[in-house]
Amino acid sequence: MNASFRLGVARPILCATVLAFLAGGCGGGGAAAATCSGGAGMPTFVQLIYPEPNATSVPTSGVILYGAGAPLAITLQAGTTTIATTAVALPSPLPSPAATLPPGGGFAMQAVAYGPLPSATTITVNRTESEPPCYVSQTYSIGSFTTQ
C-alpha cells in the first residue's frame, strides 16, 4: 500500500472520530459541557427472574419479574416486532417457578406487565440503558421464553 492510499482511508475515519468527540459533549470543560455520571458506560446488572430464562408454555399475558438496582426500560421482542411493557407493582403472590435473586448488592425485584403476545412464539426480554449525552442508548437481552 502506498502512503496516499493509507491517508485517503484514514482521513475519513479520523474526521468522523473528531466530529463524534466534539458532538458528544462529555468533555472540554466549556459552559455547555454535560456532566456525566458513572464510569465507562458499563451495562447495569439485571437478572430475569420470572419467567425463568428459556421457560416454555408461558402465558401470552402477564408479568415479568426482574432483579435490578432500579426500574429499567423493559421491552419484548417477537421476531422483528418490539412490544412495550408497563411498570407495575409486584404481584401477590409472586408467580412461580421463578429464579432466585442474588442476595445483597442493592438489587430489588421489579415487575412489568405485558400482553397479549403471539402464541407459540419465542420472546426475547430486553432492557435499554442510556445516559445521554454521554453514552449511546444500548439494548441488552436479559433472557427469553416461549409462549403457550
pTM: 0.69
Kindly report, residue by residue over 65-79, the tens digit of the pLDDT.
Answer: 999 988 889 999 999
Which of 130, 99, 125 shows the shortest CA–CA distance to 112?
Answer: 125
Within a domain: residue 42?
A: no
Within a domain: residue 108?
A: yes
**Residue 25 falls in which region: left (phi positive, over 0), alpha (psi -120 to 50) or beta:** left
Whole-number pLDDT of residue 31: 38
Kindly report, residue by residue over 126-140, the tens digit of the pLDDT.
Answer: 998 766 666 677 889
Residue by residue, DSSP assigns 37-83 as: -SSS-PPPP-EEEESPTTEEEE-SSEEEEEEESS--EEEEEETTEEE
Average pLDDT over residues 107-116: 94
Q: Do 21 and 88 belong together in one domain?
A: no
Residue type, 127: R
Q: Do 87 and 138 belong together in one domain?
A: yes
User: Among 8-12, 44-48, 140-144, which is the least confidently predicted range?
Assistant: 8-12
The residue assigned the cell 425463568 is: 52
Q: What is the CATH number of the domain that holds 79?
A: 2.60.40
Q: Do 54 and 82 belong together in one domain?
A: yes
Tell me the C-alpha to C-alpha distance, in Å, between residue 49 and each of 56, 99, 141. 14, 5, 13
